[in-house]
Structure 1
């Protein structure tokens, strides 16, 4: 009887349903967050895929999305492997003309574990290839400047982000994806964000989002 109980517990742990498992661990990519919204939306002209910077955009200026039939599919804290896992349901299913991908800073911060800059690039490359295979224009944004991460200091994102952006720009050149350079316009002399654009060195103020809106609107007007 005791042996049977042990075997059952082991099996449950492999299935991800052990007593110590959390809802977040069971839904690692947060596939449930936009499930209902995707069903209601059915289609969108452009999907914005990203992390908290993208998610926060809809809170600061929701009219930017609703007035243009844009779908915001940002999830706070997410990394590129998580976004890749939910790309089909949160982007492709909405049949947009374009997808705006802003991702990579949480990978550098190590939110879901160790990862190289090349692996981050490759995850974004996979999203680009999925988009192109479904006749969706991929617009890959440069990672925004960050001098340091308040929640995990000392990782030198001010050095790593420019290197990742160079990889992303080269990838776009080779694949035909569109590269949207936010970094150059927003970065200060430290390769960080100035106070008028960020309240914590990472996330944007209203003024910061206004800058993004101008750049992405010009890009979409040119490309679509």
Structure 2
């Protein structure tokens, strides 16, 4: 299963609904606040150094970026626009909001959502909005608490328990959570297993 994800490659970037691939097969979307470590997590999960662009400038991802997984022809990872404090014009923000609303509301190929959060700053308003999208559609969601290497094991555990408790109160059992580090590779196998299951890779 990990070998399949390691084959992931760039397919296309969509700026509007008309540019999306045909709505069939299996897609897992990745969302995260700017600088939460989303690109680093994608690269680690796919065992690649530069699949997803890692940028020092927040909010550089301004489209839905699709990666396909050869040799399959119907399985995709989708990198959603980084959200949060990106300095983009209000009209562009409105465009992306409407695009994401439609994508989450209507996309039948979407099988699950990964929400990437900095373990030191979890469950901000935007994180909750993205989790809400998934829960409202009845889609499974999985929270990845990145940059776990910045904390000791005890602090990691406390942070995960606090996030799990808050999500349980808000979403019931619809959202799962784990700690993760793209640097130390902690939690990478667990994340791969979750994503592979949603994609039907095993």
**Are residues 71 and 65 of structure 1, via their aligned partners in 2, closer, same or farther at CA, if it must alter by over 3 Å?**
farther
CA-to-partner distance for each residue in 1:76-116, whole Å, 9 max, x for gaps? xx45576x9574366445334433223112x84xxxxxxx5
Q: Which has the larger radius of gyration?
A: 1
**What TM-score do the two structures reach when normalised by structure 2?**
0.50
| In structure 1, distance between residues paired with 2:153 and 2:103 | 30
Contact 1:46 1:70 in 2 (8 A): yes
Equivalent residue number for residue 160 of structure 2: 165
Count residues in correspondence.
153
Q: Please, which runs of 5 or more residues in structure 1 have no aligned partner?
A: 1-32, 109-115, 149-155, 187-192
Cα offset, 1:139, TM superposition = 1.0
Q: Which structure shows the higher strand fraction?
A: 2
1:216 to 192, 195, 201: 195
Q: Please, which runs of 5 or more residues in structure 2 have no aligned partner?
A: 1-12, 32-37, 52-67, 87-95
**Are residues 48 and 117 of structure 1, via their aligned partners in 2, closer, same or farther at CA, if it must alter by over 3 Å?**
closer
Aligned residue for 1:101, secondary structure, equals strand
Please state if 1:71 is matched with 2:77.
yes
Q: Which structure shows the higher helix fraction?
A: 1
**What TM-score do the two structures reach when normalised by structure 1?**
0.47
**Are residues 128 and 179 of structure 1, via their aligned partners in 2, closer, same or farther at CA, if it must alter by over 3 Å?**
closer
Q: Which has the higher contact order (CA 8 A, sep 6+)?
A: 2
| In structure 1, distance between residues paired with 2:101 and 2:84 | 14
Please state if 1:35 is matched with 2:15.
yes
